[in-house]
Structure 1
Amino acid sequence: MLVAERQQRLLEMVNQRKSVRVTELAKHFSVTDETIRRDLEKLEKEKKLARSHGGAVSITPAHQEPEPPVQEREVMYVEEKKEIAQEAVKHIVVADKILLDASTTAWYVAKNLPNHSITVLTNSLNVELELSRKDKVTVISTGGTLLGRSLSYVGPLTERALDLFHVNKAFLSCKGLHMERGISESNEQQARVKQKMMEIADMTYLLTDHHKFHQQAFAYVAPLENIDRVITDRQAAAIDMEHLQEKGVEVIKAMQ
């Protein structure tokens, strides 16, 4: 596991549990206590958490979770995201009108998208820049308030812009996928945008690696029944795929 990936997952654990001890973190990540202390020291300097005697405590306000910077998310679970993106592209054909959200997995979809006559609606600055190199792809930006950490457009302007369009396929990701509590996002702004995206799409694909299964973030997005297809990576457990299928969701495991 990369250092940046470990530190991001460590921060997520602290924010979810509000406080965690060094020994517990060391055991979870199979590293030494000293390695965890160095991670905590770095994260405290970045004002992402506070160290306590024997551990760390969350400093996240109760109303939302922080979005990891897009630069950090780009290096997390890279192989899984590439697998999922390559599978997702197989479901896109010439003349499709699709939506790509601001997730890093959607950015990998944009990187793999062939230079064909396709229309892409997106709230992602990264996706826009990636597709600007493909002259046959028509790119439409939602606009809105740009969040620097995620390079995504959110807010009322984004939501109103989405009301103007209709797409046949939406490719979205999420912060958490819980078998009983549905899909969730880190904050209310992202959740509202995802809800609107699902409303304007004939078919919604959820692109999520197996690490997000059984996770619940702060802001509720939708029940699993609102998802048509889930595309996940090869490491997804068979029991999880069965649970999704019982909810009426088609599950596609990416293969190479």
Structure 2
Amino acid sequence: MLVAERQRKIVELVNEKLSIRVSELSKIFSVTEETIRRDLEKLEKENLLMRSHGGAVSLEKDQSETSYLEREITNASEKKAIALEAISLIEPGDQIVLDASTTAWYMAKELPDMPLTVLTNSIKVAIELSRKEQIRVISTGGTLLSQSLSYVGPLAERSLSMYHVNKAFLSCKGVHLDKGLSDFNELQALLKKQMMEISDETVLMVDSSKFGTRSFSQIAPLASIDAVITDSYLDDQLRRQLDEKNITVKIAAKS
């Protein structure tokens, strides 16, 4: 395959999957990871994609909210593993807040039916938890975003301000060591920031492709979180840097 053709197909794959790893591209095209990194560097300079630690992310849909169906299938196995690891941090009697991420939805699906209070702005999370008799579910209400099936806006923010929780479980679009957490939607970013403010402890749930990237709206500095749950593709240097910032790193093992 010619270099130009490989690079064109890389862009197509990145836009289709929204994010992809160097190791995966290396296997697909039967070339070394170093070759793929050079391809990604060139394509980033041409503004065709954005490199991240260990891979690349799409620029095509960065300015609009991705539909829930698309997010459900993007890095699904990593998200499910991360969700299971997050559940291990929850104890009976806890009061928690879950955002509208697909990882939070996977948490809701797998949560055992135990005494728990869950505050959420996600319709899908609320519906999933409604099947569990011992779990008390509080929905924020607010303005509905149809793509993510979540509530945002002043009403959702006022609703959150009435509560205090033990733990917040959140995801986001970008994680940058210097610039912190960010999201594509300003209203979602504001709500996630408030979720962190009403919680004693914040756990960030992101696959490794999110590291090194920045999105449109700032959420909070990296120092605002207490722990990160991610996958085994996290760069060793990044892990050391997170340790230096006193952020607990948990690696979710895929089943």
- Give TM-score, length-normalised by structure 2: 0.78
Q: 2:183 aligns with which of 178, 182, 185?
A: 185
Structure 1: unaligned runs, 5 residues or longer: 22-27, 30-56
- Matched ranges for 1:101-180 at <5 A: 101-180=99-178
Please tell me whether the aligned partners of residues 5 and 76 of structure 1 are also in contact (alpha carbons under 8 angstroms): no
Q: How does 1:92-107 map to 2 (within 5 A)?
A: 92-107=90-105
Separation in 2, partners of 1:169, 1:206: 11
Q: Are 1:82 and 2:110 counterparts?
A: no
* Per-residue deviation, residues 82-139 of structure 1 (Å, max 9, x unmatched): 1101100000010000000000001011111000011100000010111111111110
CA distance in 1, matches of 2:100, 2:165: 16
Runs of 4+ in 1 over 2 A off after TM superposition: 3-6, 16-21
Distance 1:220 1:200 in 2: 18
Please name the residue that 1:68 is paired with: 66
Partner of 2:246: 248
Report the Cα offset of residue 235 of structure 1: 1.9
What residue is the counterpart of 1:7 in the other structure? 16
2:48 is matched with which residue?
20
RMSD: 2.6
Query: Is residue 5–residue 75 contact of structure 1 (8 Å, CA) maintained in 2?
Result: no
**Paired position in structure 2 for 1:40:** none
Alpha-carbon contact 1:99-1:170 (below 8 Å) kept? yes
- Aligned partners of 1:82, 1:5: CA distance in 2, in Å? 21
Report SS of the residue matched to 2:232.
coil
Task: Note the C-alpha offset of 1:20.
Answer: 2.7
Q: How much has 1:152 moved relative to structure 2?
A: 0.8
Provide structure 2 residue ranges, at least 5 long, that are not aligned to the other structure.
Answer: 1-9, 20-39, 50-54
Answer yes or no: is the 8 Å Cα contact 2:18–2:74 preserved in 1.
Answer: no
Taking every aligned residue pair, what percent have the same amino acid on both sides? 48
Structure 1: which amino acid aligns with 2:150?
Answer: S
Matched residue pairs, number? 215
Asked whether the 8 Å contact 1:4–1:72 carries over to 2, the reply is no
Q: Which has the higher contact order (CA 8 A, sep 6+)?
A: 2
Provide the residue aligned with 1:198 in structure 2.
196
With structure 1 as the length reference, what TM-score do the two structures score? 0.78
Which amino acid is 1:7 matched to? E
Q: Secondary structure at the match of 1:126?
A: helix
